[in-house]
Structure 1
Amino acid sequence: MNFRPFPAALALALLLASPAGAGELRQRPTAVLELFTSQGCSSCPAADALLTELGSRDEIIALAYHVDYWDYVGWPDTFGAKAHSDHQRNYAASWGSSRIFTPQLVVNGTEAVVGSRRQEVDIAVQNASLSVPVALSEGGGMLKVSIGPRPGLRAAVVWLVTYIERADVDIERGENRGKRLAYTQIVTGRQVLGMWEPATGATLTLPLAEVLDDGATGAAILVQEERRGLPGRILGAASYQR
């Protein structure tokens, strides 16, 4: 399988914070948390902070998708992207709904809660589980991905999701005007790597220099079902952070 790098997505190098040392691998998560958030949303900072807290736990892979549909209030989100808004809309469509909102937290692709309501989030995380093992190993500038078999399940898509570990942003306009806000696990791109077959599993080898280009400091591998071309249940996940 040929790997194609993401197109350029961000130019915010002065805001990035990259940890030194060897890469950190997270390989046995029970939950993937996808937060749909915006710098222009006054109710989002509490959810952003909660995601940062949860993302420090070994059993959780946290991803923040900054949407663009709040940009009209006067502050274009520095990480906002139409693709992120479309991803959220696709989740809603897969559940037979047209309603989207921020801050919305999707847990393992199956359940959505208000991302700032700690009790709801805690219950959803406690009940979450992932059934497909995803193992990562780093060496020689390469990232090897091994996804185990799980007969009886349906075939699923293997996604590569890149992110920035942290950025601090001064909000100059809009509902959060005058605030300096910290964001973590900021998604910079999504790309299909291939298909996972439950009878045989899958193995991929990716060049880290291409995975972590355009300022990204981490990457998550997600194994996710699709329904009618829309996102479904996440079966397995792992992450690498530089």
Structure 2
Amino acid sequence: MKYIKEIALYIGLPLIFIAMMAFRNANHQTMIENIQKDSHDKGFAVVELFTSEGCWSCPPADELIAKLQQGNNNKQLYIMAFHVDYWDHQGWKDRFSQADFTERQKQYASWLRLNNIYTPQLIVNGRTEMVGSEEGAVLGSISAALRETSAQPLSLNAEQAGRELKITYSGAVPNKKAHILVALVQKNASSQVSAGENAGKQLTHVQIVRRLQQQEAKEQGVITLSLPEDFQKNGWEVIAFVQHKNTGAITQAAKLEW
């Protein structure tokens, strides 16, 4: 009888684990669906993922923001993936990586009083950071941001002139201690990685930041972005947001899709 109980316990533990995982996944899926709902009268969430094609632990974080972006109807959810360049020495150069994005992540380390930078790191509204692949923490932080009071609306307009994009904005709260930043975002791309920690993998990406420009936050103004050679009107968007220079807190945001 003793051995029968031990066998039952041995078999039961994996079943309990499977049941717990299924419950967790179902809960996370419900959270994703709630985040994706249109919510004009609630807060906003600016989600910044620092990632790299050369980092073996980054694909799960890329997959998580892809889940959030797919079927998203929430106009106040702003997702950006910044590909950093400090993994490029590992044998594979990420074609989306930029040194400026590494510097942005270092600035966050200063703002948030962190001892180092890492990937995948995810930051919400410039205030909260976490490992980008930890679904519970990521979804909880985004949900909390969306429950906050709405900010003053920010309006955008874009006009292409040759290889430049002129972004006109209005509605920003004037603040000498804040910047307005404008990001040109490619919504989807993929890479076949042939070296480094992800050698042999086909990686898919969403919301890739290709250009980022900033200036002092005035009530209205114009920011010009140079366009990448592969730019097309379809499959790209502009995200603008106001960020405090001293704390990194993001107080307003808007996006414009073609």
Deviation at 1:114, TM superposition (A): 0.8
Counterpart of 1:16 in structure 2 is none
Q: Which residue of 1 aligns with 2:217?
A: 195
Residues 1:38 and 1:140: Cα distance change in structure 2 (over 3 Å) = closer
The number of aligned residues is 204
Percent identity of equivalent pairs: 31
Asked if the contact 2:47–2:78 (Cα under 8 Å) also holds between the matched residues in 1, the reply is yes
Give the unaligned 5+ runs of structure 2: 1-37
Classify the secondary structure of the residue corresponding to 1:54: helix
Q: Considering only CA atoms, is the larger Rg found in Structure 1 or Structure 2?
A: 2
Which ranges in structure 1 are unaligned for 5 or more consecutive residues? 1-25, 197-201
The equivalent residue for 2:169 is 145
Q: For 1:20-54, what per-residue CA distance to the aligned partner results, in whole angstroms no more than 9, with x for missing partners?
A: xxxxxx99661000000000111111100111222
- Residue identity matched to 1:220: I
214, 229, 238: which is aligned to 1:219? 238
Q: Would you say the 8 A contact 1:160–1:193 is kept in 2?
A: no
Give secondary structure in 1 for the equivalent of 2:109. Answer: helix
Structure 2 CA distance, aligned partners of 1:224 and 1:105? 16
Contact 2:83 2:97 in 1 (8 A): yes
SS in 2 for 1:93: helix
Alignment equivalent of 2:156, drawn from 136, 156, 161: 136
Q: Which has the higher helix share?
A: 2
CA contact (8 A) 2:51 2:81 kept: yes
For 2:46, the equivalent position in structure 1 comes to 32
Residue 239 in structure 1 maps to residue 258 in structure 2: no
- For the structure 1 residues 165 and 140, does the alpha-carbon distance in structure 2 shift closer, same or farther, using more than 3 Å as the test? closer
Closer, same or farther: CA 218–140 of 1 in aligned 2, 3 Å: closer
**Which residue in 1 is equivalent to 2:208?**
186
Verify the 8 A CA contact 1:27 1:237 in the aligned structure 2: no
- Alignment partner of 1:168 out of 190, 199, 206: 190
Distance change >3 Å, CA 112–CA 137, structure 1 → 2: same
Secondary structure in 2 matching 1:219: strand
Tell me the CA shift for residue 155 of structure 1: 4.4
RMSD, aligned CA: 2.6
Rounded to whole Å, the distance in 2 between the matches of 1:145 and 1:174 is 41
Residues 133-155 of structure 1 deviation map (CA, whole Å, 9 limit, x = unaligned): 212346898754222549xx884
Query: Structure 2-normalised TM-score?
Result: 0.71
Secondary structure of 2:92's aligned partner: coil
- For 1:160 and 1:148, how far apart are their aligned partners in 2? 13
- Distance (Å, rounded) in 2 between the aligned partners of 1:148 and 1:100: 30
Write the mapping of 1:16-27 to structure 2, written as runs, cut at 5 A.
Answer: none
With over 3 angstroms needed to count, the CA separation of the structure-2 counterparts of 1:205 and 1:70, relative to structure 1, is closer
- Aligned to 2:65, which of 51, 59, 64? 51
**Structure 1 position 97, deviation (Å):** 2.2
Question: Quick one: higher RCO (CA 8 Å, sep 6+), 1 or 2?
Answer: 1
Q: CA 1:27/1:212 → structure 2, altered by over 3 Å: closer, same or farther?
A: farther
Cα distance in structure 2, aligned partners of 1:72 and 1:35:
20
Q: 1:67 aligns with which of 84, 90, 95?
A: 84
Does the 8 Å contact 2:157/2:167 carry over to 1?
yes
SS in 1 for 2:194: coil
